[in-house]
Amino acid sequence: MKHRPLSQLTWYQKLKHIDGTGNPTHEIEKAWKERDGLVKMWIYGTLSESLLDTVITAKCTARELWISIKNLFRDNKEARSLQFDHKLCTATIGDQTIHEYCKKLKILSDLLANMESPVTCPGYSSPQWSL
């Protein structure tokens, strides 16, 4: 995704269109559907073309679209964390400088931390990075 959708939806007070808290009454249903369509178009605008081709559908709500995208990332999370963990555990310095090597390790470690996935390398303890 190109932007941070949740923070922008919160800013424009449209988060209820994707988080399940919105419950439009009959009186505001038309306006709700119009805003929901705008939220969907905004979400579509933040996606890469390949992801857009995967999730675009004619008849869905912004919430259904959001859940579809969320599930795609959740389904891919375990495979990606295994891949990053393997890269970290098997990393060698090779012809890199110490700085390049440490930066590579830090990036992999940060990616795993962002996915809430622990490093499983034998003997690994979380370092205090300062590059």
Percentage of the residues of the chain whose pLDDT score is greater than 70: 76
Burial of 46 (0-12, 13-18, 19+ CB in 10 A): middle
> What's the one-letter identity of residue 95?
D
The per-residue pLDDT for 17 is: 63
Tell me if 121 is assigned to some domain: no
The number of distinct structural domains making up the chain is 1
Tell me if 104 is assigned to some domain: yes
> What's the one-letter identity of residue 31?
A
Calpha distance 98→96 (Å, rounded):
6
Query: What is the tens place of the pLDDT at every residue in 72-98?
Result: 877 677 888 888 888 988 889 999 999
Tell me if 124 is assigned to some domain: no
Tell me if 34 is assigned to some domain: yes
Q: Give me the domain span that covers residue 31.
A: 5-114
Write down the pTM of the prediction.
0.51
The per-residue pLDDT for 2 is: 43
pLDDT higher than threshold 50 for residue 116: yes
Query: What is the tens place of the pLDDT at every residue in 21-60?
Result: 777 777 777 887 888 888 888 888 888 888 888 888 778 8
pLDDT band at 1 (very low <50, low <70, confident <90, very high): very low
* Higher-scoring residue by pLDDT: 128, 32: 32
Residues 6+ apart with CB under 8 A from 85: 112, 117, 119, 120, 121
Contact 119, 109 (CB under 8 A): yes
Question: What sections of the chain are H helices per DSSP?
Answer: 5-11, 16-19, 29-46, 49-55, 62-89, 98-114
Tell me if 123 is assigned to some domain: no
Tell me if 120 is assigned to some domain: no
